[in-house]
Structure 1
Amino acid sequence: MAESKDLSFNIVVIAGEIATGKSVFINRFATNAYKLLGHTIGCGYYEKTISVDKTKVQLNIWDTNSLGGTRSLLPVYLDGTDRAPVPSDSSSYAFGIILTYDIQSQKSFLSASEMIPIINQNCDKKVNRVFVGLKCDLRHNRAVLQEDAQEFAGKHKMKYMEASALTGENVEDVFYSLSGRL
């Protein structure tokens, strides 16, 4: 049996309009359970260690919010993505961004485009990014066409996926996809 490589530390910043389901999505990934949560005040933090290509990857996940004027805090969590310190006990340190929207909300989709300049101004262009439509279990209430979301993601050089915290559909795939690219 092949031995695992050293631990890799990866920081993942989750951004998106309020009420897109970011916290429930992250909690589903971290605990493999569906739990309704209130709005995140400031920023939430989660950790989970996974294995990607025989390498242990510790994901340090920052759950940002857009409550009131707190979108202005997003640069704080993105700062330094091109010059992250490398901990002495790890083989690597990387960043990734998951930008979210609620597939039932045109407003949250439009809000994502407002966050792109903030992301571009505050993090390296090489940082891997995934654009995720949340609440895909509610496809019958879709307000944003999947084709529009895919076009948006392509335009901004992001991978596009949809996920559901309620059913668990694609939740792990989003994080594994991003982690495999970090």
Structure 2
Amino acid sequence: MSNLYGDFNQKIDYVFKVVLIGDSAVGKTQLLARFARNEFSVDSKATIGVEFQTKTLVIDQKIVKAQIWDTAGQERYRAVTSAYYRGAVGAMLVYDMTKRQSFDHMARWLEELRDHADKNIVIMLIGNKCDLGSLRAVPTEDAQEFAQRENLFFMETSALEATNVETTFLTILTEIYRIISKKTLTANGEDSSGNSGLLKGTTIIVHGQEQNSGCGKGGCCLSS
């Protein structure tokens, strides 16, 4: 993936909608700000309703526009669900690794996601705030076990220190691209293997970012 953020005067080949979900105050908005604008706001206000940011990048010499949607985690905004999930090809389930309750709620968020979203959506579990290692309330092993059981990607991040943030977004977007491009080949009759472009459990190995000492190892927990 050379020239990830280059000159985008050419046409956009793909637009991928990815949704961020999880409890309030787990850092969804900060993760998005770090990825889209490389910013972090210490006095970030709670998200009201729905917002989204876009970022254009190159994957496999194709120009991909990522449209990342961010929503309030508070219960009173849950009515936005069906419209929020419509058309999403990826989802990021975010919890705060210093708040056990936010991790315990992941099963409920995942159930809601699967009720509303396309069944082939690519899902990544994200343990945010790993810079606060001394306050960890969710062992990495617990999250890895949950991710493996539910066929999710998993990674720990720090929006504050920018640890694994870009890697996380690129991992999910690359996996979406892999699936969508394979579907396109199938639709065009160019794939003679009979593959439908659904998840096959391919492991993505990501390199290039140092992990903070408070962050456990991320990785792909998809199985076929």
Measured against the shorter chain, the TM-score band is 0.7 to 0.9
| Match among 75, 86, 89 for residue 79 of structure 1 | 86
Deviation beyond 3 Å, 4+ runs, structure 1: none
| Match among 45, 50, 53 for residue 57 of structure 2 | 50
Are residue 175 (structure 1) and residue 169 (structure 2) matched? Answer: yes
What are structure 2's unaligned runs of at least 5 residues? 1-9, 177-224
SS at match of 2:143: helix
Distance in 1 of aligned mates of 2:144 and 2:80: 27
CA contact (8 A) 1:75 1:118 kept: no
Distance in 2 of aligned mates of 1:150 and 1:65: 25
Which structure's relative contact order is higher, taking Cα pairs within 8 Å and 6+ residues apart? 1
CA contact (8 A) 1:75 1:119 kept: no
Per the TM alignment, residue 71 of structure 1 is displaced from its structure 2 partner at its CA by: 2.6
Aligned to 1:86: none
Distance in 2 of aligned mates of 1:139 and 1:42: 31
Cα root mean square deviation, aligned: 1.7
SS at match of 1:14: strand
Instruction: Normalising by structure 2, report the TM-score.
Output: 0.70
Distance in 1 of aligned mates of 2:14 and 2:123: 18
Aligned to 1:103: 97
Identity %: 34
| Match among 106, 109, 115 for residue 109 of structure 2 | 115
The residue correspondences of 1:2-81 to structure 2 (distance < 5 A) are 6-36=12-42, 37-81=44-88
Instruction: Normalising by structure 1, report the TM-score.
Output: 0.86
User: Larger radius of gyration, structure 1 or 2?
Assistant: 2
Aligned pair in 2 of structure 1 residues 5, 52: CA closer, same or farther (>3 Å)? farther
Q: 1:1-58 CA deviation, whole Å, 9 max, x = no partner?
A: xxx8852100010001000010011001111122232100001111111111211111
SS at match of 1:148: helix
Distance in 2 of aligned mates of 1:140 and 1:51: 37
What are structure 1's unaligned runs of at least 5 residues? 82-94
